Structure 1
Amino acid sequence: MPSLLEALEQKYGESSTESEGSEDEGISVAIFVPCKSPRTIVPSLLVLNDCDIATAGEKEALVAKCACVEELDLAKNKLKDWPEVFGILQQMPRLKFVNLSFNQLSTPLKNVEVDRNLRWQQLRNLVLNSTYIDWESVQRILDHLPGLEELHLSMNDYDNVNLCGEEGSCKCEKYDEKEESRCFCPKIDYKKKDKHSGIRKLHFTGNLVDNWKEVCKLGYAFPNLESLVLADCPIISLDIEDDAEAKCNRNYERSESECESGHAKESPHDSFRSLKFLNLNSTRLSTWDDIERLSKFPALHCIRVQGCPLWESNEYTEHERRQLLIARLPNVEILNGGGVIGSDEREDAERAFIRYYMEKPESDRPERYFELVAIHGKLDPLVNVDLRPEKRVKVTFTCGSNSEVRSVDVYRTMSDLKTKLEPFAGFSAAKMRLFYVDQDLRDIQGPEEMKYPHKQLYSYNIRSGDEIIIDSKKKIV
């Protein structure tokens, strides 16, 4: 497997400027040769995906070639050892972006000696998707990246979050084989652990975390987090209270709530005070309670929440679902990637929300219903106006001296009507001409010929009391 240096030389050529041309005599041509070959230094954006790179290569040559690299993409290579990764990064002091996705970097970093004073001050974006890096290694890497703003940890099969720098395993032993084991290990307080205040964006797509308590640990580790992507994570609920605990904070107020015992209780948004964007697409949220919990996030104004079990019911149309979401989320300005929610759309949604729940039993009405009633008042139900035409009308049919009143289906086509009138008219539909007479415009407009065979009667605005005159087509001699 090639080293990074070998992959560079394969892509950009050897650094040597020696000519390998033929020594045959020929016409002498003067060529300007620059002092330094253009291939000696690679571009600031270096992409070497899927090149089977496993090692760094000669350090001196890497320094000469890569000193100006600012963005490095080494996804889908064969990197496994962290010393090789650090060996590569150390030769690129100007790095701002690094992508190491799909390299098997699951070997713990704790066994690797790294200079504690080593820092990449300019590195802003680190992508570690599907590297299966353990949490302790993530913690150690972050300690070397004081300027990091965006971190990608998607598809790493995390089923918990441990950025505290301590072992999470329990070391308690059973007192007796018959006695159930009880854990007396001190609980880890994530609020007091190291914080990485520079990180603003975190991508956590496709991991196995299903408990919002674990997600909250990300918020405590990154207190200034503004964007969090949790798409395709099997998160069941945003409720952080255990079933065994008394739920003393059912309204999830934005201020710190307290239960009767006086102990402060966490809220789902407690660790996400700065969060502005949240992606919950394809999670397992299934209740409106979780949507209402989102309304308590103090800075949240943009959210994506599609593909959840909550939407699998056919109870709502897409338009109704959007209205119910907007009404429940007064803090959200952009929903599911659409445009900014205008004041008119929000008011329409809130009024529709009131009318939707005013028909439900009072026990089924959420708190948001009463909040909106206090704003808009109690609304009258919308009048159900049926604008469809009458299905059957009574029309006078006249053919010569014969006249007859019949009930006719207004959705019948002209060709079908002619066929039905053949016995009354005494001649075939092919020889028949029909004229429509509006009872109100009889003296002003006169008869209107009904020419189009596939046109339905209701398109003439036909009503009971109108007349249809039947005439025979004249033969042209």
Structure 2
Amino acid sequence: MQSADIMEENRDDCQEVTFLSALQHKYSDEDYRVLFAGLLCQERERERQRQQQQQEQENQPYSSGAGRGFACPPYVVLQNFGINRLGGVEELSRCCVHLREIDLSFNRLGKWSEIRPLLHHTHHLESLNLSFNPLDGLQVTDVRGAGGEGCPLCPLQAANCRHDPRPTPPALRRLILNGSRIEARVALALLDSLPHVEELHLSLNEYASFVDADSERAPHSRQHALKELHIDSNQLASWRELLRIGRTFPGLQTLFASHNPLNDLQDMETEALRDSLPSVSKLHLNHTELSSWPALDQLQHLPSLTDLRLLNTPLWTDSPLTGSSALFPPSKSAPFSPTLTTRQHVLARLPALSSLNGTPVDAMERMDAERAFLRHFHGADVPPPCPRFTELLGRYGPLAPLLDVQLGAPEYVEVGLSYGSVQRRPFKVNVKQTVGQLRQELQKVAGMRCRVFYLDAVLAGVVGMEEMRGERRAVHSFNVRDGDEIILQPK
């Protein structure tokens, strides 16, 4: 039975749907048994050997039937099953021994007492997705187990169960809570009980403030291991929130903050940026309100930043030459000023980047960007107030804009056209057209059907006239140049 069938039977929110029942409904089918047969056999063999060694150490006879029965695959997806309960704890521990990743998004799990045993009874669990479950009712006391809450391993009260009151913390590495409306302070408290979590997803939770000042000053019970945080599509408007996040998670290396109205980077202090985000090497700012080059210059103060994304920001969308972000126009006296692309502008200002908008940056591209940046502002009345401009000027010296040198054959040449009584009438010829096209054009000018001859101005006394034949032959193949002559003779 698939998720749609279960949802149809359990439309009433009061109807109980357990994780274990949904798991067995989906993964007890023959198709899944065949799909995961090889992997499950390997996992079961390792588990059998482990149990045998354990029982031998305890001097108990080994039972070859231990651990048989239903066992779920290591990767489980149970979206939209209407799950609101966990099920039997002992059965969970038995059948989920191989479980590594669970996707329980779009269900109805709203109580931490129904989620906590899943973490403690699946010892190999590395990733848990609870996105779009109603977690907005969770409190800090629920997560931390304070004030006489239940046992961390089962829904029973701590006084009525037989579990160790101080169990080994779960080995969970990735926790996904997108769209769950969980409060930010509850999510922080949750990390205290999950010390091994390295990747946390909190997008689409409508956060206007992620870490309040009191939480920032309050000591945490554990040192967070978090390295990657996703807070996309919230309502964070100030960079002060990102700096607080950085101080809360000093080991943070990757920060996804796209689709937030962040707009005050230029107002942040240099020392605060450097000290608050010391380890962030990958930063996503797509669809934010980054709109000025002085604001972009602030990112130089992030000491570890090497990977940056700026797509669909005002700074990236508007041309640096013609858009609203054209703070410093190029010199008007330059004979030729090639367009400085936005990518070159960013690379010239942020020398530590090794990847921009997902595209790697090599040494040659960086040098070209820096030199183009200098040429763009050559001869400007007011040089840009950018530290990098002075630095690059000292490295490369003043660079004049490149001349517009055309190395290919010209498209038009000026020749003399002679026919009848007309002698060397100035005429412009497109040398990229064919002889047939040129003849049709000349017949309209002369008003007669004619033969077309070409006279080289330099070799006229040596080779004389050459008739231009071949309807499909290109005119430039005759090596027509300025000053030559085309002579028309009537047929």
Cα deviation, residue 334, structure 1? 1.3
1:326 to 330, 337, 347: 347
Whether the 8 Å contact between 2:320 and 2:342 is mirrored in structure 1 is no
Aligned to 2:458: 440
Q: Deviations over 1:128-155 (max 9, x none)?
A: 1111110221122111111111111111
Aligned to 2:238: 211
Whether the 8 Å contact between 1:93 and 1:120 is mirrored in structure 2 is no
**Aligned counterparts, 1:44-443, within 5 A:** 44-112=74-142, 113=149, 115=152, 117-162=166-211, 166=215, 189=217, 196-241=223-268, 252=270, 266-316=271-321, 320-339=341-360, 341-362=361-382, 364-385=384-405, 389=410, 391=412, 393-398=414-419, 404-411=423-430, 417-422=438-443, 427-428=448-449, 432-442=450-460, 443=462
Amino acid paired to 1:284 = E
More displaced 10-residue stretch of structure 1: 57-66 or 356-365: 356-365
Amino acid paired to 1:434 = V
Whether the 8 Å contact between 2:79 and 2:106 is mirrored in structure 1 is yes
Q: Deviations over 1:48-69 (max 9, x none)?
A: 1121111111222222211221
Cα deviation, residue 378, structure 1? 1.4
TM-score by length of 2: 0.74
Cα separation, 2, equivalents of 1:459 and 1:321: 40
CA separation of 1:424/1:338 partners in 2, compared to 1, >3 Å: closer, same or farther?
A: closer
Cα separation, 1, equivalents of 2:167 and 2:266: 40
Q: Deviations over 1:364-390 (max 9, x none)?
A: 442221111011111233223356837
Amino acid paired to 2:369 = A
Amino acid paired to 2:319 = N
Amino acid paired to 1:295 = Q
The sequence identity of aligned pairs, in percent, is: 32
Whether the 8 Å contact between 1:398 and 1:467 is mirrored in structure 2 is no
Cα deviation, residue 470, structure 1? 3.0
Cα separation, 2, equivalents of 1:135 and 1:410: 73
Structure 1: 5+ residue runs without aligned partners?
Answer: 15-33, 167-187, 242-248, 253-265
SS at match of 1:273: coil
Q: Does 1:466 find its partner at 2:484?
A: yes
Whether the 8 Å contact between 2:172 and 2:196 is mirrored in structure 1 is yes
CA separation of 1:165/1:59 partners in 2, compared to 1, >3 Å: closer, same or farther?
A: farther
Whether the 8 Å contact between 2:411 and 2:430 is mirrored in structure 1 is no
Cα deviation, residue 409, structure 1? 2.5
CA separation of 1:425/1:304 partners in 2, compared to 1, >3 Å: closer, same or farther?
A: closer
Cα deviation, residue 447, structure 1? 2.0
CA separation of 1:346/1:204 partners in 2, compared to 1, >3 Å: closer, same or farther?
A: same
Whether the 8 Å contact between 2:192 and 2:224 is mirrored in structure 1 is no
Q: Deviations over 1:407-457 (max 9, x none)?
A: 2223385556534543775633xxx442333333553696262534796x5
Amino acid paired to 1:293 = Q
Cα separation, 1, equivalents of 2:180 and 2:289: 25
Whether the 8 Å contact between 2:415 and 2:428 is mirrored in structure 1 is no
Whether the 8 Å contact between 2:340 and 2:373 is mirrored in structure 1 is no
Cα separation, 1, equivalents of 2:116 and 2:138: 14
Whether the 8 Å contact between 1:437 and 1:447 is mirrored in structure 2 is yes
